[in-house]
Amino acid sequence: MEQLLENLIEECQQYVEKGEVASYIPELAKVDKNQLGICVISTTGKVYRAGDYLNSFTIQSVVKTIILLQALIDNGEEFVKERIGVEATGKPFDAINMRAGNLESQHLNPMVNMGAIAMCSLIKGRSEEEKFEKLLNLTRKLACNDSIEVNQDVYLSEKRTGNKNRALAYLLKSYGLIDGDVDAVLDTYFKACSISINCEDLACIGYCFASHGKPPRSDERIFESQYATYVNAILTTCGMYDGSGEFAINVGIPAKSGVGGGIMGVVPTRMGIGIFSPGLDDKGNSYAGIRVLERLSREMFLSIF
């Protein structure tokens, strides 16, 4: 397996140049795009790695899966579904999905910014600090890594320049779709996107969703099995932005990408996958990362379809 991963990384190295690093968050524009790494954790708990698997990057939109999980843990399925719709938007991550001049909860999707910002307001806690700590602790638990922290430079950079997200959040507020103070909710969202991880963390988080709540080599279930069904189903239809249909055909697994260049792959009952390469395609997905996943899926018959 390790040999296979090494071959894939070598074969796909040619694609790292083809993507562009995200530049709308100034701090991300400084990232060296010449990085490609992968980690796979199999059902036996065995960990396989290749390339730049130890390099750190910010989780960005992959954290939407964890925000959704935290919202489900705190409120239950029915409540969350009522507040944030589950239908695919087929639109980019920062789209305003209004219909007939109206914005309703059913127009939101947990994997698109508006839905994710609204979900941040569903996390329960006495203060915004407590809510974020809860999310960070869940991330650490899923990644089996207590030392995960926020990248302060990226957080401040996002906070300084995140005017589109600010606009989306105020729009949500004006339609009564977020409770509480808008800036406080946004702060939780910006911090969440700036959590710093590596491929192994990502593979471990993916593994927890693949195993319906059990971390590698553990029998302790850290969340209810049905929440993995909820999250994985949404990842299948919307995890790769407006590239989700193409990805379903070519790779065929629940997955979530982020503009930091990470992709988390979930192969239900089989494995968790973490990939990182910061050059993005025109949809905001890691260019080389997708190429690696396409080949891995073909080689190992990973498609769930």
**Min CB(76)–ligand GLU separation in Å:** 26
**Min CB(83)–ligand GLU separation in Å:** 19
What angle in degrees, to the nearest 10, is found between the helix axes of 152-161 and 182-193?
Answer: 140
Write out the H or E segment, with its range, that includes residue 119.
helix 113-120
Distance from C-alpha of 56 to C-alpha of 151, rounded to nearest angstrom:
10
139 binds ligand GLU per the rule CB under 6 A: no
Residue of 53, 155, 227, 241 marked catalytic: 241
Query: Residues with Cβ < 8 Å from 12, sequence gap 6 or more?
Result: 36, 288, 291, 292, 295
**Cα Rg, the chain, nearest whole Å:** 18
CA angle 254–137–118, rounded 5-degree value: 60
165 binds ligand GLU per the rule CB under 6 A: yes
**Min CB(260)–ligand GLU separation in Å:** 7
Site for ligand GLU in 176-235 (CB under 6 A): 193
93 binds ligand GLU per the rule CB under 6 A: yes
How many residues are listed for the chain in this entry?
305
Indicate which single residue of 38, 61, 85, 144 sits in contact with ligand GLU (rule: CB under 6 A). Answer: 61
Residue of 48, 155, 189, 230 marked catalytic: 189
**Min CB(262)–ligand GLU separation in Å:** 9
39 binds ligand GLU per the rule CB under 6 A: no
Q: What is the DSSP letter of 191?
A: H
Indicate which single residue of 213, 278, 284, 289 sits in contact with ligand GLU (rule: CB under 6 A). Answer: 284
**Min CB(196)–ligand GLU separation in Å:** 13
Distance from C-alpha of 240 to C-alpha of 93, rounded to nearest angstrom:
9
Distance from C-alpha of 192 to C-alpha of 54, rounded to nearest angstrom:
20
Bridge partners of 136? none
CB-nearer residue toward ligand GLU: 74 or 94: 94
Distance from C-alpha of 165 to C-alpha of 94, rounded to nearest angstrom:
8
Residue of 61, 194, 244, 277 marked catalytic: 61
CB-nearer residue toward ligand GLU: 50 or 259: 259
The tokens 């990384």 sit on which residue? 9
The tokens 């694609």 sit on which residue? 15
244 binds ligand GLU per the rule CB under 6 A: no
259 binds ligand GLU per the rule CB under 6 A: yes
Active site residue 189: yes
Active site residue 259: yes
243 binds ligand GLU per the rule CB under 6 A: no
Active site residue 24: no
Active site residue 241: yes
Active site residue 64: yes
The tokens 């990644």 sit on which residue? 143
Residues near ligand GLU (CB under 6 A) are 60-61, 93, 113, 158, 165, 193, 258-259, 284
